[in-house]
Amino acid sequence: MLFTSYEFLGFLLIVFILYYLLPGRAQWSFLLLASYVFYFIADPRYLIFIAITTASTFFAAKLISDKKVSFDVWFKEHKKEYEKDERKALKAKEHAVEKKIFLCCLLFNLGILAVTKYTNFTIANINNIIGAFGNKGTLSFVDLVIPMGISFYTFQSMGYLIDVYNGKFEAQKNPFKFALFVSFFPQLVQGPISRYSDLSQTLFEEHRFEWRTVSFGLERILWGFFKKLVIADRILVPVQAIIGNPDTYSGWYAFAGAMFYALELYADFTGGIDITIGVAETMGIKVTENFIRPYFSKNIKEYWNRWHITMGTWFTDYIFYPISASQFMMKLSKKSRARLGNNLGKRVPVYLSSFIVWFTTGIWHGASWNFIVWGLGNFVVIMVSQELEPFYRWFHSKVNVEYTFGWKLFRVVRTVLIMSSLRMFDCYRDVPLTFKMFGSIFTKSHLSQLNADAFIGMGIAAEDYLVVFLAMLLLVTVSLIQRSGSVRAKIASKAAPVRFIIWYGLFMATLIFGAYGIGYSASQFIYNQF
């Protein structure tokens, strides 16, 4: 059920009405039912996967949590009976049991994710290796079900498990409440990857109908639809034309394709998240923000703090920090400092951890070398950027431009260009072709390519480009206004006719200029595939 389908809107309407008709204490149970119905409609087989992840994580976390609590109680009562070393040994023994349970559950669920998403990728690589050695025998691909949103709900569940294991909070005692946390339907498809400590604050609460909350939610949904239907799905057509015909569209066209794709991805993903957050908001539930105007970032590091934030923090908290603080890294740090000196040596474990994180981030996005290279490309850019920090400091000490508008603009444009270039790996069918097309921007661009007819030949008319351009201007304007606070709150403070003109105008613009219905192919949200 696509977010932009009539079926989803109908489903949402029914859920919304029943949600507020039901007594408050039944609301979260009803949401669980609705979420499972939503997932069932997508494919009944998916339910088995999500149920297994939910059950295994719930019981493992509960077991760990119960053991922690009972051990703490027992330890408080009996600690005086033991010497310091004995107490330490007791704690270590207890921790080892918890660790076993934790690792079993973690590996089991990551195993499901790995098998469903990466089996065929592994087979393809094995076949390549066999082929490289001249062997003609190949392994057959397997036809596996890849449950919708498995990367998102697995990561969300594992985040919860890690937090319980680390003693951040006690495990949820009610399996159905936990099941809702894992399966909450608005964010099941494309995130955000919510933390239990954030989402649980409002997910299980009773919510009464409040017009302001509901209207704010609806406005957010509308804005999401505008981005998705008016911008993303309209610019999608030339993007597909460009990346589908690399022989025809090289040079400036490849550059245009990269820029169009940057716009499409932004409008698509943030639009989808707007719908997710808006839907939750109409029901009084607060879902974590996933974007803070990422294209206004001054560098790639900042960009990644503002783009797909919940994924970034997940990788930082649950992969980067544990790896950095692992015994192996500590030892490596010591050795590298000893051999390479303090300055260079201390960077080795950081960069190695960072490398692992970006490799994992890449492969999380998709089972292909394109995503792996994309992830590592980000790693390289961030590493180079950090290494150049002294140079930047020197440059700014000599040239006084750091706080000028022109320099800020330059940094923003630079970020957009670098990120758009890296994202070309999303677009083209393999890594060599991506490099070739990127190279063509510098070797095959010529002015004759910049003619309107060529762009109109990519499947949309001049009027469509105009619509996209105007919509993009609106997007930038809203982002600029947003810097000083919620745009919706600002609009809400205006007189009723002004509010009406703005929201009705946006509604009609979405209805009229949206790329939907007969004549347009319904386009899945890009991040659904992850």
Partner 1 sequence: MIKEYYDDPTDHNVVFIGDCELYENISPVYLWENYGINSYIRGSAQQLIWQSYYLAEETIKQEHPDIIVFNVLSMKYNEPQNEAYNRMSIDGMKWSSSKINNIKASMTEDEHFIDYVFPLLRYHSRWSDLNTDDVEYLFDRNKVSFNGYYMRVDVKPAENVPEGKPLPDYMFGENAYTYLDKLTKLCKDNDVQLILVKAPTLYPYWYPQWDDQIKTYAKKNDLPFINFLEYQDEMGIDWTKDTYDGGLHLNLAGAEKLSKLFGDILTQEYNVPDRRGEEELDKYWDGVIKRYNQEIERQTTNLELYGSVHKPEEKK
Nearest approach, Cβ of residue 495 and partner 1 (Å) = 27
Give whichever of 264 and 464 is closer to partner 1, judged by the CB atom: 464
Annotate 412-435 with b (16+ C-beta within 10 A) or e (fewer): beebbebbbbbbbbbbbeebebbe
Assign residue 355 a region (left: φ > 0; alpha: ψ between -120 and 50; beta: otherwise): alpha
C-alpha dihedral (173, 174, 177, 178), degrees to nearest 10: 50
Q: What is the C-alpha to C-alpha distance for residues 10 and 312, in angstroms, rounded to an integer?
A: 33
SS3 44: coil
CA distances 376 to 195, 212, 360, 430, Å, are: 26, 44, 9, 15
Nearest approach, Cβ of residue 3 and partner 1 (Å) = 16
3 state SS for 247-306: CCCCCHHHHHHHHHHHHHHHHHHHHHHHHHHHHHHHCCCCCCCCCCCHHHCCCHHHHHHH
Nearest approach, Cβ of residue 519 and partner 1 (Å) = 6
Give whichever of 17 and 522 is closer to partner 1, judged by the CB atom: 522
Give whichever of 415 and 510 is closer to partner 1, judged by the CB atom: 510
Give whichever of 430 and 463 is closer to partner 1, judged by the CB atom: 463
Q: What is the C-alpha to C-alpha distance for residues 438 and 166, in angstroms, rounded to an integer?
A: 44
The type of residue at 272 is G
Nearest approach, Cβ of residue 491 and partner 1 (Å) = 24
Q: What is the C-alpha to C-alpha distance for residues 263 and 246, in angstroms, rounded to an integer?
A: 20
| Paired tokens of 327 | 């015994």
Nearest approach, Cβ of residue 316 and partner 1 (Å) = 43
Nearest approach, Cβ of residue 518 and partner 1 (Å) = 5
Q: What is the C-alpha to C-alpha distance for residues 194 and 156, in angstroms, rounded to an integer?
A: 6
Give whichever of 6 and 74 is closer to partner 1, judged by the CB atom: 6
Give whichever of 233 and 268 is closer to partner 1, judged by the CB atom: 233
Q: What is the C-alpha to C-alpha distance for residues 508 and 300, in angstroms, rounded to an integer?
A: 36
Give whichever of 69 and 511 is closer to partner 1, judged by the CB atom: 511
Nearest approach, Cβ of residue 9 and partner 1 (Å) = 9
Q: What is the C-alpha to C-alpha distance for residues 225 and 232, in angstroms, rounded to an integer?
A: 10
CB atoms within 10 A of CB 16: 18
Nearest approach, Cβ of residue 181 and partner 1 (Å) = 33
Give whichever of 275 and 467 is closer to partner 1, judged by the CB atom: 467
Give whichever of 385 and 524 is closer to partner 1, judged by the CB atom: 524
Q: What is the C-alpha to C-alpha distance for residues 335 and 184, in angstroms, rounded to an integer?
A: 47
Nearest approach, Cβ of residue 102 and partner 1 (Å) = 48
CA distances 327 to 97, 165, 285, 332, 360, Å, are: 19, 18, 40, 8, 20
Residues binding partner 1 (CB under 8 A):
6, 461, 463-464, 511-520
64 backbone dihedrals φ, ψ, rounded to 5°: -65, -45
Give whichever of 495 and 512 is closer to partner 1, judged by the CB atom: 512
Nearest approach, Cβ of residue 466 and partner 1 (Å) = 9
Nearest approach, Cβ of residue 500 and partner 1 (Å) = 18
The type of residue at 448 is S
Q: What is the C-alpha to C-alpha distance for residues 371 and 430, in angstroms, rounded to an integer?
A: 10
Nearest approach, Cβ of residue 250 and partner 1 (Å) = 29
| Paired tokens of 28 | 């979260």
Give whichever of 4 and 420 is closer to partner 1, judged by the CB atom: 4
Give whichever of 466 and 481 is closer to partner 1, judged by the CB atom: 466
| Paired tokens of 399 | 């040239």
The type of residue at 415 is T
Nearest approach, Cβ of residue 515 and partner 1 (Å) = 8
CA distances 222 to 31, 93, 314, 507, 512, Å, are: 22, 54, 28, 7, 13
Nearest approach, Cβ of residue 514 and partner 1 (Å) = 7
Give whichever of 3 and 152 is closer to partner 1, judged by the CB atom: 3
Q: What is the C-alpha to C-alpha distance for residues 323 and 325, in angstroms, rounded to an integer?
A: 5
Give whichever of 132 and 452 is closer to partner 1, judged by the CB atom: 452
